[in-house]
Structures are given as C-alpha cells and as structure tokens.
Chains A and B, each alone.
Chain A
Amino acid sequence: MSADTLVVLLSIGQNPVSGRPRRAERDARALSMVLGTGKPVIGLHAGAPHDALHEYLGMGLPQLINLNVGGGEDPTPAIASVLSRIKPGLVLTGARAEIGDGSGLLPYAIANRLAMPVVPEIVSVTFRTDWTELLQAVPGARRRVLQVSGPAVVTVGHHGPPLRQIAKGPARRGVIKEVAIPESLPLAPNLMLPPLAERPARKRPKRIGPTSESQSAQNRMTLTDPDAEAAAHAILSFLRSERFVLDPAREASQTKELAS
C-alpha cells in the first residue's frame, strides 16, 4: 500500500458513568479528524473482537482490521509488524486508553520500533503535496502549526473536532476483517511494572487555596494615584518579570511567520 494510507489505532472504550463498553472517545476523535480528508483510512484494533468496534464503522470508516492478540498480551509487536507491512503515511491514535492501564505508552513504543516521531495533542491534519500540516493544542487555548514530511505517529487528546455521529446502518453492515498475527514476533519488554495491589479508586481531596510559595502574597505592591505613564510602566514591568509578556526580541523568535 502507498504512503497515502492513514492508519487509525482504535481501542474499546468505557462509558464513564455506566461503565458499558463503547468507542473510545480520543480514538474516535482521531478518526473524525481524518475521515473527511479523502485519503484511504484503515482502522486497526488489537485484541479480542467486540461489538463496540462496529461504532467506528458507523462513523464512516470503510475498513477495520482486527488483530487477534490474546488478552493480557502486549499488542505492540503485532501492531508494529502490521504497520511495517502497510507503510502508512500517518498513524493516528488516542493519547491513552479508557480501559486497562491507560499508560499512554503504546504510541511511543510503536514509534520507537518503527523509528517515527511522535506528535502529541493534535487537533487537525491538513495534507499538502510534500508535507503534512498538523495543528497542535498548546496550554492556554493556543494552537501551534507543525509540519512533518515523513511518516509520524500522531496522538489526539481532548481538544479537536467534535466526534462524528454513528449511523446505525453502516455500523451493522460493516465487516471487521480478522487477521491472524504472525507466529514469531520479537517480544517487547513491558515498561509498566506489574502492580503490587489494586483496589477501587477513592476520591482524593482537592488542594484548597494557594500552597506554593509562588502564590503566597510575598511581594505584593500597591501604587496609589500614580500618573498614567507610571502605572503603565509598573504593569508592563510586572508582566515582563513574570514573563506573561516577552521581551521584543524573544517575542519575534517565538511567533515565526507561517511558511506557506
């Protein structure tokens, strides 16, 4: 297959209230991001087949491959071997799973095996002739423009386009292609240590009020009736000292002009 192909790694999610299996939200968002782009999209799931996977087909996904990886087994080698056969242009997935450990390590493990970069927190993908333009969500409700020219693993968090609706007809008609995994796969070391104990989570109290020194009122300043220039200088120097406003030189280096 060509480098045009996009692969979305899909997992089974869990309704946070009822606990029922459903499509995983972040994976579904990654899928919604690429379904309208006109590129061939392949869904890939590793694990036991499940009815919830049909929800992805109902979103308009034409092809879904299920890799039969046994429960409790690390899916990384199987997924990596399939990906190295498909040779996709971009691999998309949710930042972490909704069931199981939810460590968020899988995209990094796969990228490490296939020697691809990982680009986290992507909200939109645009394909140009020579490169792919990615928009990344930066804390503080800002967006950063990134460009990748080769294949990359892209992870999707809570930001981004709304999820596509599930159409019942295509969901029921769609067929999941079962693929057996090759026998001899090099085993990956499991980077997550086995837990010593496991119990139902309990609610932890949130921290109330400022505890760190940065927030305590140590250097409070009050200017009474300054003239307008003095007040403006005081505000600007405060903003500069806390780096909310950058110095002109650094400002210029950080907000570069868009290439295209």
Chain B
Amino acid sequence: MRDDEPQNPLRRDPRVERDLRRYRKEAAAPAEAQSLRRNPRAERDRRRQRPAVQLSGSGLQARSPDFATSSPQKNLRKGRRGEDPGAIASRAPTSRSPETEILRLEAPSCWVLVVPDTPSGTLTTHDRDAIAAARLIADNKDGGVIALAPADATGYGLIGVDRLVPLPGTDADTGVRLALVESILAQCKPAHIVLPDTPLGGGHLGRLIATRQSLNIAPGVVRISGGELVRLSDGGRKEQTLPMAPVVLVAPEVSDPKPGPRREARVLPVPAPPAIEEAVQDHGLLPVDPYSVPLQEADFIISAGNGVSDWDSFSELAKVLNAAIAGTRAVCDANHLPRHRQVGASGTLVSPRCYLSFGISGAPQHLQGIARCERVIAVNTDLHADMIKRADLAIIADAQAVMPSLLALLRETR
C-alpha cells in the first residue's frame, strides 16, 4: 500500500490520504461505511416491497444482509439487475413458497367481475390477460376480483382472484353463464365486468349483458392505463381513449400477467339461477378431416418427422385424437405429406394449444414454426435433440413403438 511509503512532509498526497481513509473505515466497520451514504435504490426497493406484498419476513431478510455486506460496486450491479422484470418475477415470493401469506380482502371498495372463456375447463392466454386486466382495474380502485370459473378450477388465487363463483359444469354454455352473471350483478353489484373479446365467448356474452342490462360497454380494448381505456376504431386506423366503462371487452395482450401476492380465491355462494332459455339448439361438433384443417387455426396438431415410418398408425392416431396432421420439411420433401401440411419457417407458423410430435429432432426452422404452441409433447430417440429441450413432456423412445400402443390405449378407453 501507498501509506507504507516514506512521505514528503512538505507536500500532501491527497490520493494516498483518501486511500488510507477508505482502507481504515472498511477494516473497522463495513456496515457503517454503507450507512454514511444513502442507497436510494435499496430504500425504494424496500419501500415498494413492504406494503404491497406483505412478505412473510423471509423474503426481505434474505435480501437485506446482501445490501449491507457487499461492496458498493456489487451493490450497484445488484440494484440494476433487480430493476429488470425477469429478476422481479424470480424473487417474487408468491409462486415460490407455499407458506407465504395469503392476501385476504374482506370488504373492498368495489368488485371487478371477470368471466374467462375457459374452453374445456382450462384458461387460455387470452383469459389470463383478461384476469390481469381485471386485477389492474381493481388495483386502481383498491377493489377485489371475482372470477367465474369451472367447478374444479385451481390456482386462481395465484393469478390475483379474490373470490370465485363456480359454474355448474366445466363447459357451461352462454345461457347458464348469462343467468349466473346477472345474479352476481344483482347480489354483489360489481363496478366493472371484464371479458375477453372472443366472438363466441366473452365478446358474445359481454354484448348480451350490456344490451340486456343497458350498461355502457367498451369493446376491443387494447390497453388500460390510469383508469382510461384505449381501443381501436375505424378498422384499426384510429385510437380512441374512453373513460372506464361498466363492461370492458379486452383484446389479447391487453395487459401482461404479473406476479403479485397470492389471493385467497374464496368460493362465493351465489344461488344458481335457472339458465336463460336460448332458442338455439346445439347439435354438437362435426368431425374434422385431419388433412384439410387449416394449420394456422388448428387447436391440436399431431406432427411427424424423419423418425416416423409407420404412416398407417400415424394417420389412424390423428383420426382417433381428432387432431390436425402436420409434418416437417424433410417429411414433406419426401412426399409423405402434402406441402400445405409443413410446419416451420418455410411452411406454416402454428399456434395450437397442444403439439404432439413424433420423430422430430427440432431444427431451428421447425422450432420457429412452433414458437407459439402452448404445450409440446415430443417422442424422439435422441435425448440431446433440441425438440426434447422444448417439450413439456419428452419421451425418449422409438415413435414406431409408441404410436401403436397409444392407439391401442385410446381405443381401449373409449
């Protein structure tokens, strides 16, 4: 160190003096050195976390020694990284530890009712966006969120739902939902109703409610900011800002689902009213031809790659599962499937809820094509294939062995 060097008494060396001061202080009391200088970022972080999240102690305590002991440089970097949304999500205590506190609302200032579509009982991404929008509207007014959900629904507390009204069945039709929403309107008097603006689901139901009850409506809302709604008009050429309306129909991606404190999602007793009779009789779905379903629209795709040689079981499996048939470029090049069935960069970019793939290794161009799939199941012999990394359920086996046994199992259970 410099301070060991012989010094000229006539001339001061400020650099040495500063180094010396710093060295002595750090050696004596590192924590105190921190407290001399404020760390506004850490203070802000602490302020933000405490009232909103109501941490169970562990989250905050785990972080504070971090701030105290590390060097200022390190601290700065940590603070910066803490600002990015990914890191916030990863340290959010809600979804990680089951023992975190549950936020309970007894009498909020208002209620926001959200009616997700839940086709076949599960939430779509559009539904999650609508629930996030409802949460946002409720948070602006210190309100609570009521959700209409299938009877066996779970995990709604994690996405910010305070109360749950169970539907009589898993896929109740519009008449049942309409009657239930009207009885909730009479009982809880929600300030707003939020629905996903889908032609058959929320968009239909929301417009019916608005016209029946003479409520103001804001359809096709693309953004919610500061208590105002933004929607597109004039065929998407103009942007309208509307005041908050009682019925809000939201477009996809209106607001991103954010991790927040866990809510209780308590079941609210609402008397099930008789369904409003519709003059329309439902006579069921028509069977689909797996080869002619347009791939962009398909909900469930079964796809083949170079690892498939048993084409009879493959097409039989598609018929039994009621799925659309697709393939990779290699398969279409080899004339096993027509060109319009190709998935990937040079074929169709697909967005089904489920993508079941047999013998596909996962070329980058193919993975590009399935980027918007919700769930991927991969059957492949190569453990290190990229498709296996992408898959939610990966099975390292030969497609020719798995396909007939899956077919047999499906036929057995029907």
Contacts and interface: CB of A to CB of B under 8 A. Distances in A.
Interface of A: 14, 16, 19, 95, 98-105, 108-109, 111-112, 116-121, 134-136, 138-150, 152, 157, 189, 191-193, 195-202, 204, 206-207, 209, 211-215, 217, 219-226, 228-229, 231-236, 238-239, 242-246, 248, 250-251, 254-259
B232 interface: yes
Main secondary structure of the interface of A (DSSP, over half): loop
**Which 3 A-B residue pairings sit nearest by Cβ, starting from the closest?**
A140-B299, A141-B297, A228-B405
A99 B235 CA distance: 6
B393 A225 contact: no
Contacts of B217: 103, 105, 191-192
A157 B297 CA distance: 14
A118 B204 contact: yes
Given A120-B204, A215-B125, A229-B405, A242 B414 contact: no
B40 interface: no
B128 A212 contact: yes
A256 B199 contact: no
A147 B222 contact: no
A117 B199 contact: no
Interface stretch (B108-116, B133-141, B274-282): B274-282
Contacts, number: 268
Nearest to A194: B242
B95 A213 contact: yes
User: In this complex, which of B128, B199, B413 has the most chain A Cβ atoms within 10 angstroms of its Cβ?
Assistant: B199
A139 B204 contact: no
Nearest to A115: B279
Contacts of B240: 101, 195, 197-198
B402 A231 contact: yes
Contacts of A197: 240-241
Contacts of A239: 321, 354, 356, 377
Contacts of A248: 413-414
A100 B233 contact: yes
A21 to B, nearest CB: 11
Interface string B268-306: 000000000011111111111000011001111000000
A103 B414 contact: no
A238 to B, nearest CB: 5
B200 A145 contact: no
Nearest to A239: B354
Contacts of B220: 102-104
Contacts of A157: 199
A94 B85 CA distance: 41
Contact of A149 (B215, B279, B392, B404): B279
A212 B211 contact: no
Contacts of A220: 391-394
B279 A233 contact: no
Given A141-B293, A239-B356, 12 more contacts: A101-B240, A147-B281, A193-B245, A196-B243, A198-B240, A211-B257, A213-B95, A221-B393, A236-B406, A243-B121, A243-B122, A257-B284
Given A121-B200, A232-B405, A224 B414 contact: no
Contacts of A118: 204, 207-208
A16 to B, nearest CB: 6
B406 A144 contact: no
A141 B296 CA distance: 9
A71 B234 CA distance: 15
Contacts of B239: 198-202
Contacts of A134: 280
B312 to A, nearest CB: 16
Contacts of B284: 144-145, 254-258
A169 to B, nearest CB: 30
A112 B212 contact: yes
A162 to B, nearest CB: 14
Given A221-B394, A245-B321, A246-B120, A235 B402 contact: yes
A138 B242 contact: no
Contacts of B404: 228
A143 B286 contact: yes
15 contacts: A99-B234, A104-B203, A116-B279, A118-B204, A119-B280, A139-B200, A144-B284, A146-B280, A193-B245, A195-B242, A198-B241, A201-B232, A223-B396, A231-B395, A231-B402
B294 to A, nearest CB: 6
Interface string B235-253: 1111111110100000001
Given A142-B288, A202-B239, A258 B122 contact: no
Nearest to B292: A141
Contacts of A224: 383, 396
B123 interface: yes
A14 B299 contact: no
A207 B220 CA distance: 17
